[in-house]
Structure 1
Amino acid sequence: MSHSIYFNFIIKSDKFTVYKAVSEPEHLEKWWPLKCSGIPKVGETYNFNFTDKYDWYAEVVSCKQDDHIHFKMTKSDADWDPTTFGFNLKEKENGTCLNFFHKDWPECNNHYKHSSFCWAMLLNGLKDYLEKGVVIPFEERS
């Protein structure tokens, strides 16, 4: 049995801006990794660099501009390697509903629980970045 993380929340911004924030490296660096590279296109590889020790890679397995982007981890650690995560966007009258998932975790272990907490904190950082222009310094991100 695998385990999954899900979050749905509203960001007071349009889909175009939210999509850029979850798909373009220069925006991802504002709320998630220290350094990032990649192109939002199926089959392309993203590098999510957190430190020299955590220099991870993922492949874009599905994307549609201003709608969704999904990543399959290809080089990370034993817990993250089998996983896929993604962002699905729906335009609402009060902003964009971001539906986040991170699925196929092999175990409900401490790393899974810690990652679930970290995603909640990081996604709140994404919301603050888009709504208030706040960029939390990398060293202070959970």
Structure 2
Amino acid sequence: MKANEEGFTIYHNFPVKALSNKVFKAISNPEDLAHWWPLKCTGNPKVGAEYNFSFGEPYDWYGEVVQCKENSSFHIKMIKSDSDWYSTTFGFDLFEKESGVTWVHFFHKGWAEQNSHFKHSSYCWALLLNGLKNYVEKGIIIPFEERN
């Protein structure tokens, strides 16, 4: 596989049995994010705002919101992280295609190479996004220590 001008990209699309406003809150509100992804999180869902994603030492990462459309899209560009994630952008685009179901189109673009970290991150995103789905649909919170 050859990278495009933006590098390599991870994609995951999946349905969530909830309205887009509930999904948007789970992907953009720091308290909700901490229920399915980082250990701790701070930030404000608006373009230009900075988010802190803390996974415990030494993983204290930062990203900047580059797109935020309420109940529709939320994209973050990494500004402080490890070298593989630095300058990559991940995001969520939400589509209500049927009553009570929101399709999440997730991407994580800008990877310089398809190294082992890229492949591991794709796998981890799949697990975490399933955690997002279960959190929104069923209120399930997996303890941080048990998230792979």
> TM tier, shorter chain?
over 0.9
Q: Please say if residues 82 and 106 of structure 1, whose CA atoms lie closer than 8 Å, have aligned partners that are also in contact.
A: no
Q: Please say if residues 44 and 59 of structure 1, whose CA atoms lie closer than 8 Å, have aligned partners that are also in contact.
A: yes
Among candidates 48, 51, 61, match of residue 66 of structure 2: 61
- Tell me which residue corresponds to 2:85: 80
Q: Distance in 1 between matches of 2:146 and 2:9?
A: 25
1:31-46 correspondence runs (5 A): 31-46=36-51
Per the TM alignment, residue 124 of structure 1 is displaced from its structure 2 partner at its CA by 0.2
Per the TM alignment, residue 29 of structure 1 is displaced from its structure 2 partner at its CA by 0.4
- In structure 2, runs of 5+ residues without a counterpart are none
- Tell me which residue corresponds to 1:4: 9
- Letter in structure 2 aligned against 1:112: F
Secondary structure of the residue aligned to 2:67 is strand
Kindly indicate whether residue 119 of structure 2 is the aligned counterpart of residue 113 of structure 1: yes
- Tell me which residue corresponds to 1:141: 147
- In structure 1, runs of 5+ residues without a counterpart are none
Identity of aligned residues (%): 60
- Letter in structure 2 aligned against 1:126: L
Q: Distance in 1 between matches of 2:114 and 2:56?
A: 25
Q: Distance in 2 between matches of 1:77 and 1:34?
A: 17
1:19-34 correspondence runs (5 A): 19-34=24-39
- Letter in structure 2 aligned against 1:84: T
Q: Distance in 2 between matches of 1:23 and 1:129?
A: 14
Q: Distance in 1 between matches of 2:70 and 2:76?
A: 14
Q: Distance in 1 between matches of 2:60 and 2:87?
A: 16
Kindly indicate whether residue 47 of structure 2 is the aligned counterpart of residue 47 of structure 1: no
Per the TM alignment, residue 82 of structure 1 is displaced from its structure 2 partner at its CA by 2.2
Q: Tell me the C-alpha RMSD between the 2 structures.
A: 0.7
Kindly indicate whether residue 136 of structure 2 is the aligned counterpart of residue 104 of structure 1: no
- Letter in structure 2 aligned against 1:118: C
Q: Distance in 2 between matches of 1:69 and 1:103?
A: 14
